[in-house]
Amino acid sequence: MKSQSKNSVTGQTRRDFIKTAAQVAAAAASTDLLAPVVYGRGSSGKVAIVSDPGDKLSKQAPVRWAIEQLQDRLKAHGVPTQLYSMIDQVSPSAAACVVVAGRSSKPARAMLAAAGLSVPDVPEAIGLVQGKLGGHPALLATGSDTRGLVYAVLELADRVEYASNPLTELQRPDRIIEQPANPIRSIARLFTSEVEDKAWYYDKSFWQQYLTMLITQRINRFTMTFGIGYNSPRRIKDSYFYFTYPFLLSVPGYNVKAVGLPDAERDRNLETLRFIVEETTRRGLHFQLALWTHAYDFRDSPDVNYRIEGLTPQNHAAYCRDALHKLLETCPKIDGVTFRCHSESGVPQGSYEFWRTVYDGVVRAGKKRPIDIHSKGIDFKLINIALETGMPVTVGPKYWAEHQGLPYHQAAIQANEWRKAKPGDSMERQRRFTRYGYADYLREDRRFGVMYRIWPGTQRLLLWGDPAMAAGFGRYSNICDSLGVELCEPLSFKGRMGSGLPGHRGAYADASLQPDGGPWTKYLYTYRIWGRMLYNPNTPRDVWTRYLKSEFGPAAKDCEIALGHASRVLLLITTAHTPSCSNNGYWPEIHMNIPIVSGNRFSNVSPLDPELFTTAEEFAEELVSGKRSGKYSPLQVARWLDNLARVADRHLSLAHGKIADAKAPAFRRLVIDTSIQAGTASYFAEKLRAAVAYAFYRKTGDQAAIREALKRYTASRDAWAKLSRIATGVYVEDITFGPNSVLRGHWADRLKAINKDLAEMEAKAKETPVTSDDSAPDWRTAISRPGFAAVPRQSRPRCQHLPPATFGPGKPIPLEIAAEAGYKLASATLHYRHVDQSDEYRVAEMSGDGGRYRAVIPGEYTDSAYPVLYYFVLRDYKGDAWIYPGLNNDLANQPYFIVRRA
């Protein structure tokens, strides 16, 4: 895929897409008002597929491959097909007719004009239009380019695959025009374990099925990722593919090898990579090669399985350049290269000349290939060195640290990540704020692209699938003309850091639950939701319900709702409560207990977005003082979690009553993983309540508070015990995503620590005197006040605010917010900063009369290369306070406003 420049998908184009997608969804919803097209009724004729020989796009190899897929799907239903070069050759007895043509071809222009439609002249746009051509009823499958045309044909193939009557699918009165919301929609597959990953790496059948699935779901980039098996080149046990080049090729002029690796195996590795590249590009996908490590000297690694021999500091850079050059010449269809360039790559920070030399390997290969640089710790000097190559350059920040939060981008990163540098600090420490978000890369005048990477810290193992959340990521992955997102797929980091174990990669102890097609096929719904929603956040429901209906029949809708709500749980928990931004220190899927009593640690765990959420300790202080900050409290998060668990459990129960075979492996897998996530919601909801009550007790000595904490903690423990029983016997006892205890084990392992902390709280409760500090508020009074209550208020007013379309640099931005008629606010404050995560918020009290409030962002602040982000905190006369716009009921929206420079 050719890299998009910053201006290739403009803000206006993106806004147009949202409107177009909404119109498409509306059209899809109203297709029952249109009469179906009738072909050769009662005929046993073939399906005609017409491809104009004069159309350059339809002759492209990926399009021919896509047509074969459509033919194969029809054949599986017993429907024969016939290829034609002209519509006049099609028999009137044809069962149906599909015209495959690029948007600029004569057949496509004619059919689009007759329908009053047009396909946008942007990459990867598609059209599916029912009409007539030369008097023949026909369904046009068209696209703006090769990949767009492939998507159009594969949409038909997907419909046919899951249809009870495939001919009906080809006769739908379609008027669909779509274009991508995000230019980059990438899936990364990580090789991190010799024991667990070799099997799929060498499996050609797997690659053919997997890559076909990716392109069908409108993923447009596949990233084969090497060298990410460790955080840094220290204490290495499993070095297979870690420093990648010697595992793939021998470079003339260098005697570099992975000691112990047979030459035949090295050659097989390269042959396999070439096969993967060829199969990827044959389908029209972009192939990205990711090389995360350039270290050859593995420190403190006496037990490493493959030591690298033949390199010195003197020949290191030149070898890497020449190895990369040879690799790209050997696999010329590699479309782009990703590098990690900070110290964790094994190359010291600030080694600009090393990277200049390595980048030259891309240049020498003679093809324009995008260079993607992982953003952590890098500066603009390194980016400029990459730009000097003449290659398109993309910087890849993490979306939500090394985890997955809600779809919006953090309103603020954790405080210890953006603290100001001190004199003498290293470059990496000076730019610490680049570790876990978009940092300062979203300048309006940047000459490089920005693409986000969703790391596998939050969601690794359990089934995931929520259309609302995925649509949110589709809408916000392109923030400020960013190019999109790369998802580290399910099971990423399995067996990482030498923790790989032989056996089934999917970690099932119950062999009957292992998917027939391999571990990855468990997540077919996950890939479908991600790919389609990143392409079009307004994708019609039919796209995913056709799959669910094929799997679960009449229980499909309840399965969709149950899994969808359960899939929000871990994302919400991560946003509101993250003890470690690193994936190595936090895995909420199998949460390692953090004690409430010992050291009060749980109560002080920071949200991953501390601008919009409070800790339990902070909220307890608000309870004591009676002053609300307006941030989302742990009690609000608990309410959300309770609702998600309640909806998931209710619809699982309904699904059980409708499913034809409750013992079917696919249904059992969904029920088990949904139940575990719903149980996790209940566990965290009660533990958050317990933490708030215990923090209040520590501040006031109130006996009612510690009794409440004990009650809630007991309920939390019981919820964890219940989900542990669900997982026991289903998953193996040692699920390994790393060697440390937080990264391996089983849900049942965690109960011991929970019980220990609960026992300490029981002991504290017995020690607590009956009396408490009379000057402090009691628990029951504090928790019943507006804005604090366990039951949320329903009376917050609707507000009106029209964000400005743009602002002029150096010009003030006047802002106004009004409450609904008849409602008086006590005050309103404006919180704003640049779209730069190293920047601190400014807060301005707004002037007004209770119903309408105004403030101005000053001109000297807007004289900047950055867009401006802002939100409001509103207060009423009862002591309540809240954020506007804040989060919607589905938690999938952006809770602040962004205004761009004109």
Beta carbons of 453 and 398 less than 8 angstroms apart: yes
Residue 847 in contact with residue 855, Cβ under 8 Å? yes
pLDDT digits (tens, 9 = 90+) for 787-830: 676 555 556 788 999 999 999 999 999 999 999 887 889 999 99
pLDDT band of 17, cuts 50, 70, 90? very low
The two tokens of residue 77 are 């239903």
CA pair distance 408, 755, nearest whole angstrom: 36
pLDDT of residue 776: 67
730 pLDDT band, cuts 50/70/90, is: very high
Check if the beta carbon of residue 9 is closer than 8 Å to that of residue 185: no
Asked if pLDDT for residue 34 goes beyond 70, the answer is no
CA gap 788, 786 in Å, rounded? 5
Least confident segment among 204-213, 215-224, 669-678, 820-829: 820-829
For residues 802 and 832, the answer to whether their CB atoms sit within 8 Å is: no
The residue type at 606: S
Geometric angle at alpha carbon 552, from 550 and 555, rounded to 5°: 130
Omega before 885 cis (within 30°)?
A: yes
Amino acid at 433: F
Write down the pLDDT at residue 15: 33
- pLDDT at position 784 is 82
What is the distance between the alpha carbons of residues 779 and 760, in angstroms, rounded to a whole number? 21
Instruction: Tell me what pLDDT residue 30 has.
Output: 33
Phi first, then psi, for residue 63 (nearest 5°) are -70, -40
Would you say 124 and 144 are in contact if contact means Cβ atoms under 8 Å apart?
Answer: yes
Helix (H/G/I), strand (E/B), else coil: 478: coil
Side chain identity, residue 352: Y
Q: Of 6-15, 248-257, 797-806, which range is least confident? A: 6-15
Considering the chain, what percentage of its residues have pLDDT values greater than 90? 85
Instruction: Band the pLDDT of 652: cuts 50, 70, 90.
Output: very high
The C-alpha atoms of residue 78 and residue 166 are separated, in whole angstroms, by: 10
> What's the token pair of residue 265?
């195996």
Averaged over 597-612, what is the pLDDT? 93
Dihedral sign, CA of 778, 779, 783, 784?
negative
| CB 880, CB 786: distance < 8 Å | yes
Identify the residue with better confidence: 545 or 793: 545
DSSP annotation of 728? B
In terms of DSSP H, where are the helices of 371-449? 380-387, 415-418, 427-430
Contacts of 47 (CB under 8 A, 6+ apart): 74, 79, 80, 81, 82, 94, 95, 96, 97, 98, 167, 170
Give 331-382 as a DSSP string.
Answer: STT--EEEEE-SGGGTS-TT-HHHHHHHHHHHHHTTS---EEEE-TT--HHH
Cα radius of gyration (the chain)? 28
CA–CA dist 755, 745 (Å, integer) = 17
With a CB cutoff of 8 Å and minimum separation 6, the contacts of 613 are 575, 576, 607, 631, 632, 633, 637
What would the 3-class secondary structure string for 82-108 be? EEECCHHHCCCCCCEEEEEEECCCHHH
Query: How confident is the model over 745-772, as pLDDT tens digits?
Result: 999 999 999 999 999 999 999 887 755 5
Whether residue 579 is predicted with pLDDT greater than 50 in this model: the reply is yes
User: Is residue 316 pLDDT above 90, yes or no?
Assistant: yes
Residue-wise pLDDT for 456-485, tens only, equals: 999 999 999 999 999 999 999 999 999 999
Q: Are 186 and 1 in contact (CB under 8 A)?
A: no
Q: 125: pLDDT confidence band, cut at 50, 70 and 90? A: very high
State how beta strands 868-875 and 827-834 pair. Answer: antiparallel
* Cα–Cα separations (whole angstroms), residue 724 to 591, 593, 667, 750: 11, 14, 19, 9
Tokens read off for 696: 């209040």
pLDDT at 6: 32
* Sign of the four-CA dihedral 853, 857, 859, 862: negative
User: pLDDT, tens digit, for every residue of 655-708?
Assistant: 999 999 999 999 999 999 999 999 999 999 999 999 999 999 999 999 999 999
In the chain, the percentage of residues whose pLDDT exceeds 70 is 93
- Yes or no: say if 101 and 146 are a contact pair by the CB < 8 Å rule: no
Predicted local distance difference test score (pLDDT) of residue 773: 55
Is 8's pLDDT higher than 50? no
pLDDT at 515: 96
Alpha helices (runs of H) in 388-465, residue ranges in sequence order: 415-418, 427-430
Looking at every residue in the chain, the average pLDDT score rounds to: 92
* Secondary structure of residue 770 in the 3-state scheme: coil
Average pLDDT over residues 73-93: 93
pLDDT at 211 over 50: yes
pLDDT tier at 14, thresholds 50, 70, 90: very low
Per-residue pLDDT of 481-515, as tens digits, reads 999 999 999 999 999 999 999 988 999 999 999 99
**Residue 159: what are its φ and ψ, rounded to 5°?**
-60, -45
Rounded to 10 degrees, what is the CA torsion of 648, 649, 654, 657? Answer: 130
Average pLDDT over residues 530-547: 98
